[in-house]
Chain A
Amino acid sequence: MIEIPISTLKKIRDFLHIKTGIYIDDNKLESSYKRKIIKLMEEEKYTDPEKFFHDIAFKKNSRLLQNFIDTSTINETYFFREEHQFRTLINYVLPELDSIRDPSETINILSAPCSTGEEVYSIAIYLMEEGELIKKRDFTLLGIDIDSKAIKKAKEGIYSERSLNKVPEHLRKKYFYKEENVYKVKEFLREAVSFEVVNVLDKYKMKRLGKFDVIFSRNMLIYFTEKDRNEVIYTFYNMLKDNGYLFLGHAERIPSSIKVFKQQKLGESFVYKKVS
């Protein structure tokens, strides 16, 4: 059994933080995260933690580095993932925006990247279940992704049982048809949202999407270089209306040296508010 000293685990954590912005809490570091790293070391045939760390940091092995980053993140997408953020959206963010925006103004929500659409449909379901906000004003929900296959799948709206694992039975009946072993999003829900193929690094295409009140960008920035990450953060800044909000993945942070966003805790979630 491989044993990783805490000193090496901390170095791995610091390196991950430098590389992706993700910070692994102490309570996860010596438990679940350590197990993931040991598993990766075994798969990559390493027995020496220091050598492993040296290679992921300094050896130009993009496959190893990518595997390390993938191991360190949650890459699966499913309905109601990190649900506390949707609760924050519905209970705090949207009511605030509703109170400050002109009644005739549409509230625009962007999911970037949206992958196969679960996040966008989840937001739509939350809004429909809340019920009052969508009676008061119009909403636009847009999901974008660089992957055209993912966008195609999002538009089709067909998902596995696994993807709906967190969706309670009464909501499955309300928003999905079950066909054999897959779930299909009902037409009225598919009609409520939009999807497009867009690369977030394409500033022109991003600008043409317009201005948004809320942007969800969960577990994407971690895969960028720091330079590209910051560029996208400022693209988001430019695309947000005044007092708009940015949601990142729960382990992601905007560097404190970036002043255009102010971090706030609303409910159980950390969010970033555009400083205007």
Chain B
Amino acid sequence: MFKKHTKQHIVRFKEFDEARKYIEDNHTDINMSMEAVDYIVNHKEYYYLLKKLYEKIEKNDLPLELAEYILSRLSGKLKREEDFELLYKILKTQNTKYIEPIKEFLRSNSCFLKNFLFKLLENSDANMRLIAVQSLKQCVQITVKNRLKKHFYKEKDKKVLNEIIKYFEIFGTDEEIKKLKNNLQEQIR
């Protein structure tokens, strides 16, 4: 039969240390770990959460769904230079298990993280530059278009160049696309 819906009591941590336990030990009860993430985000301790994310990713000690959850809750929250430094460190970890959630985070926050991504575009590592272009594609702004066009002419990596061309195949004029493709052909020769 049908029952009427009733509101539920929700878990409330009384203090930071109580929540912290479920972040430090995230294997006991993932639901409690998620509640702890929410508590910490509500208390604006973003750097702490990001730091834990980094440490645990390095040790491969974090369930993937919890990594995704933490990243989703940090959406639109990172603003300080130290946050970005840590975000970069997370990107640089060799742990490929977490790379998709991290890339998804960058993509979904691309406009918010525009300056971080512009900086990544200048990175010496072509993989980083590729991630930057793929993420910036989601931020549909003239400043992004202009920046990618400018970058194209100094980029040497073919994968990155092709990714920029893919961007212009959506957002560029026929003339722009032709010019970029011609330029790529010249580079290949």
Report A's interface with B, CB cutoff 8 A: 7, 11, 14-15, 18-19, 50, 57-58, 106, 108, 124, 134-135, 138-142, 191-194, 196, 203-204, 207-211, 226-227, 229-231, 233-234, 237-238, 255, 257-260, 275
A18 touches B137 (CB 8 A): yes
Cβ contact within 8 Å between B75 and A227: yes
Q: For window 47-64 of chain B, which residues contact chain A by CB distance below 8 Å?
A: 64
Name the residue in A7, A139, A258 with the highest tally of chain B Cβ atoms < 10 Å from its Cβ: A258
* The one of B73, B108, B110, B140 that contacts A19, using a Cβ cutoff of 8 Å: B140
From A7, A18, A142, B5 is in contact (CB under 8 Å) with A142
B72 A234 Cβ-Cβ under 8 A: yes
Q: B117: shortest Cβ distance to chain A, in Å?
A: 14
Task: Specify which of B4, B34, B174 is in contact with A140 (CB 8 Å cutoff).
Answer: B4
Q: Is the CB of B1 within 8 A of A138?
A: yes
Residue in B10, B73, B103 whose CB lies within 8 Å of A234? B73
Nearest residue (CB) in B for A255 is B104
Closest chain B CB from A11 CB (angstroms):
5
A residues near B140, Cβ cutoff 8 Å: 15, 18-19, 57-58
The answer to whether A57 and B171 have CB atoms under 8 Å apart is yes
Indicate if B7 sits at the interface (CB-CB under 8 A).
Answer: yes
Q: Does B187 contact A (CB under 8 A)?
A: no
**Which of A193, A210, A229 meets B7, CB within 8 Å?**
A210
Question: Measured between C-beta atoms, what is the minimum distance from B39 to chain A in Å?
Answer: 11
Residues of chain A within 8 A (CB-CB) of B142 are 58
* Distance in angstroms between the alpha carbons of A174 and B170 in the assembled complex: 52
**Which residues of B does A touch, CB under 8 Å?**
1-5, 7-8, 10, 31, 34, 38, 64-65, 68-69, 72-73, 75-76, 100-101, 103-104, 107-110, 112, 137-138, 140-142, 145, 169-171, 173-174
List 17 other contacts, CB 8 Å, given A58-B140, A139-B3. Answer: A7-B174, A11-B169, A58-B142, A106-B3, A140-B4, A140-B5, A191-B4, A204-B10, A209-B7, A229-B108, A230-B75, A238-B31, A258-B104, A259-B64, A260-B64, A260-B69, A275-B65
Contact of A208 with B8 at beta-carbon distance under 8 Å, contacts A58-B142, A257-B104, A258-B104 already known: yes
Q: Is the CB of A194 within 8 A of B104?
A: no
Q: Contact at A124–B2, with CB atoms within 8 Å?
A: yes
CB-nearest residue of chain B to A56? B140
Q: Report A-chain residues with C-beta under 8 Å of the C-beta of B73.
A: 231, 234
Distance A159 CA – B47 CA, assembled complex (angstroms): 51
What are 16 A-B contacts with C-beta separation under 8 Å?
A15-B170, A18-B140, A19-B140, A106-B3, A135-B1, A138-B2, A139-B2, A140-B4, A193-B2, A226-B107, A226-B108, A226-B138, A238-B34, A257-B103, A258-B68, A259-B101
Q: Is the CB of B112 within 8 A of A227?
A: yes
Contact present for A257 and B2 (CB under 8 Å)? no
